[in-house]
Structure 1
């Protein structure tokens, strides 16, 4: 199993704080600095506007082909749920430079908590997955009504990746387990900020959480158990607030290596300013 570990997004101004990886780095150089530390990234900007071909070409150039990109679907697919044929065409065609460079990971469809398992929503999800047939698609379903073996069995039949999540223990959402529906796994660690998950005014507040070592050991154990079932696993930390993810990723790498799950760690050129 090849494990790719990175963050949900890379344009985090929090990381320009003293001692963190963007200290003294200009914004247009953030992605290159990110690539010195991580081998995968979840592209958040595509949720708000689908980048064009030249933008994706620039991403490949800035990372020297060393970073895998998982591209989040635009909100028209997951939150508005009214995509046009043109939306599908752009979403499927624009990342072609990533495919050409061999650095395209799965698409990510991140549905909101309000997307319950109803007949209409099941029909919509079936339509969406059929339109992305032939491409790896990872689906995050935040409402607990989807957290059922029969749902994952159906996703496995369709070649769709179940996104395994770690949410705060607030109830009503899927349990924190690594589930396998194919050769590729996908894990998103949101942090466990129970107080701000519903009440937080922004994603930054909701993801303001630093995992402790025991919690990283817990996830390393769960990942090790499925190591023989997967060819690839993508692990993304969404707790990017205040650089929490930058501290947690080395913890998880160490915990995985200790359990016989090899993880590649990029070697930054500036060893004096690491995480």
Structure 2
């Protein structure tokens, strides 16, 4: 049986910060990550989709998490064919953004992206890189060629693939999709969304790698694929909704070394609450509560920081 890790798709989402989930004394940048890592063994980094990461941030993430903790990191938007804002690009690469499909530009962006994440990789904190492809990437020969080119560029790195176009996992194409990802040595990402919509991805649970399988639960909002971010991901999972995934995750763990289960219903503290519920349903050992003495010490540091007008996040 492979190891099962459960977590949320962000520890810095603004609605999570406002929800009160982080206790007093753990609300600065370092305290938040340390608190999160005391509760879960896995988190997804979504900020790297919107802007290239920095080596400094990777070093801080390593320093603030225990051995064995894992970060699944979303690939930068340009690498997955999504629209990319000029402001998200390094200044010296912005003039080249008009040629977003230029292989040399993509190679340079990939090199900088990978270089910034090297501290995570060296410290064995990197779970996988998540390549979430856009909903207009339909299964055809051109798309399959793009996937092969992407895997060639990322050779040697752990990569998982999530498709947003539902046809990849339709019954008549699912075997071909699994075969392609198996050929590329790439774990498939299973997803949970509302069903019965034109954009609904079937809730299949493929295993295409002996090393890793990934599940991302996006919520059951009927606005999936159409509404604002808050509308698309607003959902509170019930134990009954999670029960079928408990069976699927256990079956996946029979076929791979590790399974990552991530909750992306990031409205207030819904994702971390659902992750806690899922961990219980899967029979995973709960993480110990933080040491109250440590909390009191951090409370005092926070009070002194506020009194002195200091900013210790940098």
Which residue among 187, 206, 225 is the counterpart of 2:215?
Answer: 187
Q: TM-score, normalised by structure 2?
A: 0.79
| Number of residue equivalences | 266
Q: TM-score, normalised by structure 1?
A: 0.89
Residues in 1 aligned to 2:209 and 2:239: alpha-carbon distance in whole angstroms = 29
Q: Please state how far the C-alpha of 1:228 moved relative to its aligned partner.
A: 1.4
User: Which one is further off, 8-17 or 247-256?
Assistant: 8-17
Which residue among 187, 200, 212 is the counterpart of 2:227?
Answer: 200
Which ranges of structure 1 fall in alignment gaps of 5 or more residues?
A: 258-262
Residues in 1 aligned to 2:226 and 2:164: alpha-carbon distance in whole angstroms = 17
Q: Does 1:255 align with 2:281?
A: yes
Residues in 2 aligned to 1:55 and 1:246: alpha-carbon distance in whole angstroms = 23
Aligned to 1:260: none
Aligned to 1:103: 125
Where does 1:156-167 land on structure 2 (aligned, <5 Å)? 156-167=182-193
Q: CA RMSD in A?
A: 2.1
Which residue among 126, 129, 133 is the counterpart of 2:151?
Answer: 129
Residues in 1 aligned to 2:157 and 2:190: alpha-carbon distance in whole angstroms = 19
Where does 1:195-274 land on structure 2 (aligned, <5 Å)? 196-201=223-228, 203-257=229-283, 263-269=284-290
Residues in 2 aligned to 1:70 and 1:117: alpha-carbon distance in whole angstroms = 25
Aligned to 1:174: 201
Q: Deviations over 1:164-189 (max 9, x none)?
A: 11111123443112110012101000
Q: Are 1:41 and 1:69, in contact at CA under 8 Å, matched by a contact in 2?
A: yes
Q: Deviations over 1:4-47 (max 9, x none)?
A: 11111111232345652355643423222211211111111111
Q: Are 2:6 and 2:40, in contact at CA under 8 Å, matched by a contact in 1?
A: yes
Residues in 2 aligned to 1:212 and 1:163: alpha-carbon distance in whole angstroms = 22
Aligned to 1:7: 8
Q: Please state how far the C-alpha of 1:199 moved relative to its aligned partner.
A: 3.5
Q: Are 2:128 and 2:159, in contact at CA under 8 Å, matched by a contact in 1?
A: yes
Which ranges of structure 2 fall in alignment gaps of 5 or more residues?
A: 84-99, 296-314
Residues in 2 aligned to 1:251 and 1:13: alpha-carbon distance in whole angstroms = 22
Q: Please state how far the C-alpha of 1:268 moved relative to its aligned partner.
A: 3.0
Q: SS where residue 42 of structure 1 aligns?
A: strand
Q: Are 2:217 and 2:263, in contact at CA under 8 Å, matched by a contact in 1?
A: yes
Distance of aligned partners of 1:65 and 1:227 in 2 relative to their CA distance in 1, 3 Å threshold: closer
Q: Are 1:16 and 1:23, in contact at CA under 8 Å, matched by a contact in 2?
A: no
Which structure has the larger Rg over C-alpha atoms?
A: 2
Distance of aligned partners of 1:18 and 1:130 in 2 relative to their CA distance in 1, 3 Å threshold: closer
Residues in 2 aligned to 1:45 and 1:172: alpha-carbon distance in whole angstroms = 24
